[in-house]
Amino acid sequence: MTTYRVKFFKNLVSSDGHPFKCLQKVVDIRRSKSPERAVEAAKHRFRRAGHLADWKLHADTLEAEVEHVSADASAGAGN
């Protein structure tokens, strides 16, 4: 299985008018079977940690990246 790092961002505007993404939270999901499942698990953890009904109350976007691929996942990829 693969480990994913999901980052949640809020879109803001600086004092001089330039837009930027402000990191709100990083959630590591260990041992997910797919990126989609990792993102859903991260959304759930973000909501639960902030006692939120919807993660979009505190973030506008998210980015998911592969942090680590286990030997089991890479061995199964060629089958």
Tell me: the pLDDT tens digits for 1-57?
A: 789 999 999 999 999 999 999 999 999 999 898 999 999 999 999 999 989 888 888
pTM of the model: 0.79
Rounded to the nearest angstrom, the gap between the alpha carbon of residue 13 and the centroid of all alpha carbons in its chain is: 22
Write the CATH number for 36: 3.10.20
The candidate with the shortest Cα–Cα distance to 6, out of 39, 45, 47, 32, is: 39
Report the number of distinct structural domains present in the chain.
Answer: 1
Residue 60 lies in a domain: yes
Residue 38 lies in a domain: yes
> What pLDDT digit, counting tens, does each position of 45-77 carry?
999 998 988 888 899 999 999 987 776 655 555
How many residues belong to the chain? 79
3-state secondary structure 19-73: EEEEEEEEEEEEEECCHHHHHHHHHHHHHHHHCCCCHHHCCCEEEEEEEEECHHH
| Structural domain harbouring 37 | 2-69
